[in-house]
Amino acid sequence: MSADVPAVEMHGISKRFGEVAAVDGVDLQIGDGEFFALLGPSGCGKTTTLRMIAGLDIPSEGRLAIFGEEVASWPPDRRPVNTVFQAYALFPHMTVAQNIAFGLQMRGIRGPDADRQVAEATALVQLEGMEHRRPSQLSGGQQQRVALARALVNHPKVLLLDEPLGALDLKLRQEMQVELKALQREVGITFVFVTHDQEEALAMSDRVGVMSEGRLLQVGTPAEVYEHPASRFVADFIGRTNLLEGVTESPSAMRLNAGAVVAAANELPPGSPAALSVRPEQVRLHRRGEAPEGTPCLDGVITDATYLGHAFVYMIAIGPNADAGGSGAGDPAPTITARSETGSTALDAGERVTVSWLPASTTVVAD
């Protein structure tokens, strides 16, 4: 396999179930050896996309190639990919070793050769000593490892993982994130990972594809997607953000509904409704009037201060009516969330402040 042939290549892939398009015109290239995360809320089509790569669903239209081979119409047993299923789908009537050996057997690999490969895979996921247990005798984390070993023993060209950590508790999930990433580096296989957990996607993957309602909205490295979301949905879904509504004035400025004209680089025609995405950790707090000259700023009143140990989270009512009390009658004043390290001076609710940010740390997003 040459380096410039993508592991997975999709062109105009759609999948319709009756009238509903679960996946709608997805174009995507996943590189050899990449750890790629498909991220999106439930029902966004990410699992269907994964199932089409596996061959468990056949695309309604579009082209799908795995390492240059057109596989769209191939049955799953002919595809050089393996899947770790969401609830693991281990065979309950087989032992751990029999589960792991299944794929080898189906390809006609038996005897000492198969035994050696099963032993290697068992060692890879640290399940030595569990070979003769049944899946029902294992913990969730152990079952997960069996599912991984059962797939990896076949040395697939692409490993597909459908929310593999979803069924584990938080602590185990975080351990497995680190372990899975290390495992991927070790085996060098392309991983396509489906998740609805944006932190998991950012933490583990080389690149992220964000999906919503069957469409692939943005593909990029975790930093690109987090720092420069291409749309309102992506900005809101990846991490927490403040979306300040307004209208663009020029390619470099935007009028916020909160009452200020601020520097904001954008490619929209002037007069387009848009939102300025400002991450909470990029928001700086100053006592009223002490904001540095030349940075975009807004006046506001702290309505809530939460101590989180490593940081403070402030809710600040902004806009013309903020001083009159953020939670007065009528329309509630827009609020902005700010996050600051604990080392800084603590501010209390009710304090009149000015918030500012660096224009380079913000992104203008349209609908």
Partner 1 sequence: MSNLGTAGAKRSSRHLLRANAWFVFAFLYVPIVVLVIFSFNDSERVNVWQGLSPRWYGEALGNTQVVSALRVSLIVAVTSTVVSTVLGTAVALALDRYRFKGRRALDGTVYLPIVIPDITMAVMLLVFFAEAFKLIDVIGPRLTLGVTTITLSHIAFNISFVAVVVRARLDQFDRTLEEAARDLYATPWRTFRRVTLPLIAPGIAAGALLALTLSLDDVVISAFTAGPGATTLPVYVFSSIRQGVTPELNAISTLMLAASITLVVASLALQRPRSTTP
Q: Does 361 bind partner 1 (CB under 8 A)?
A: no
Distance of closest approach, residue 113 Cβ to partner 1, in angstroms: 16
Q: Does residue 194 belong to the site contacting partner 1 (CB under 8 A)? A: no
* CB-CB neighbours of 285 under 10 Å: 23
Residue type, 215: R
Contact status: 144 vs partner 1 (CB under 8 A):
no
Q: Which is nearer to partner 1, 106 or 178 (CB)?
A: 106
Binding pattern for the stretch 50-89 against partner 1, x by CB under 8 A and - elsewhere: ----xxx------------------xxx---xxx-x-x-x
Q: Is 143 in the site for partner 1 (CB under 8 A)?
A: no
Q: Is 137 in the site for partner 1 (CB under 8 A)?
A: yes
Q: Does 334 bind partner 1 (CB under 8 A)?
A: no
CB of residue 77 vs partner 1: minimum separation in angstroms?
5
String marking each residue 3-42 x if it binds partner 1 according to CB under 8 A: ----------------------------------------
Binding of residue 93 to partner 1 (CB under 8 A) = yes
Q: How many residues bind partner 1 (CB under 8 A)?
A: 26
DSSP-assigned beta bridge partners for residue 219: 209
Max intra-chain CA distance, the chain? 80
Question: Residue 247's beta-bridge partner residues?
Answer: 255, 273
149 contacts 127 by C-beta, under 8 angstroms: yes
Q: What are phi and psi of 21, to 5 degrees?
A: -95, 105
CA 35 to the chain's CA centroid? 12
Whether 21 and 80 have beta carbons less than 8 Å apart is answered as no
Residue type, 280: P
Binding of partner 1 by 106 (CB under 8 A)? yes
Tell me whether residue 89 or residue 230 sits nearer to partner 1 (CB atom): 89
Taking each helix axis from N to C end, the angle separating 111-124 and 170-187, rounded to the nearest 10 degrees, works out to 130
CA distance 201 to 195: 7
The burial of 283, by beta-carbon neighbours within 10 Å (0-12 exposed, 13-18 middle, 19 or more buried), is given as buried
Q: Is 154 in the site for partner 1 (CB under 8 A)?
A: yes
Query: Which residues here bind partner 1, judged by CB under 8 A?
Result: 54-56, 75-77, 81-83, 85, 87, 89-93, 102-103, 106-107, 134, 136-137, 150-151, 154
